[in-house]
Homo-oligomer: A and B are copies of this chain.
Amino acid sequence: MLRGNQTWWFENRPVIIGAATVVGPDEGDGPLAADFDLVHPELDMQQKSWEKAERLLLEQATDFAIQNARIDKDQLQFYVGGDLMNQIISNSFAARALGVPYIGVFGACSTSMETLAIASLMVNSNSADYALAGTCSHNCTAEKQFRYPTEYGSQKPPTAQYTVTGAGAAVIAASGDGPVVECATIGKIVDLGIKDPFNMGAAMAPAAVDTIQSHFNDTGRTPKDYDLIVTGDLAGVGHPIATELLMRDGVPMDQTVFNDCGLMVYDTERQKVQAGGSGCGCSAVVTYGHLLKRIAKGELKRVLVVATGALLSPLSYQQGESIPCIAHAVAISGKE
Residues of A participating in the B interface, judged by any CB pair closer than 8 Å? 1-2, 5-6, 8, 49, 51, 77-78, 82, 84-89, 92-93, 95-96, 99-108, 114, 118, 121-122, 124-129, 186-189, 191, 311-316, 319, 321, 324, 326
Minimal beta-carbon separation of A173 from chain B (angstroms):
13
Given the complex, which residues of B lie within 8 Å of A118, measured CB to CB? 103, 118
A2 to B189 CA separation, bound complex (whole angstroms) = 32
Pair B124/A125 contact, Cβ less than 8 Å: yes
Among A6, A187, A311, A312, the most chain B Cβ lie within 10 Å of the Cβ of A311
- Known A-B contacts A101-B188, A103-B105, A106-B106; the reply to A87 vs B86 at CB < 8 A is yes
Given the complex, which residues of B lie within 8 Å of A5, measured CB to CB? 77, 101
Pair A101/B6 contact, Cβ less than 8 Å: yes
Q: Which of B93, B106, B312, B321 contacts A105 (CB 8 A)?
A: B106
Stoichiometry, copies per complex: 2
Pair A319/B187 contact, Cβ less than 8 Å: no
- Known A-B contacts A87-B108, A315-B89; the reply to A1 vs B125 at CB < 8 A is yes
Pair B315/A6 contact, Cβ less than 8 Å: no
Q: List 7 A-B contacts (CB under 8 A).
A: A2-B127, A86-B87, A87-B108, A89-B312, A99-B188, A102-B186, A104-B106
Not counting A6-B77, A93-B324, A124-B125, a sample of 6 additional A-B residue pairs whose C-beta atoms are within 8 angstroms of each other reads A6-B78, A86-B315, A92-B326, A103-B105, A105-B105, A106-B106
A106 to B89 CA separation, bound complex (whole angstroms) = 10
Pair B82/A106 contact, Cβ less than 8 Å: yes
Minimal beta-carbon separation of A239 from chain B (angstroms):
23
Q: Which of B92, B124, B129 contacts A324 (CB 8 A)?
A: B92
Given the complex, which residues of B lie within 8 Å of A105, measured CB to CB? 103-106
- Known A-B contacts A6-B78, A125-B121; the reply to A191 vs B103 at CB < 8 A is no
Minimal beta-carbon separation of A11 from chain B (angstroms):
10
Pair A92/B1 contact, Cβ less than 8 Å: no
Given the complex, which residues of B lie within 8 Å of A313, measured CB to CB? 85-87, 89
Pair B2/A49 contact, Cβ less than 8 Å: no
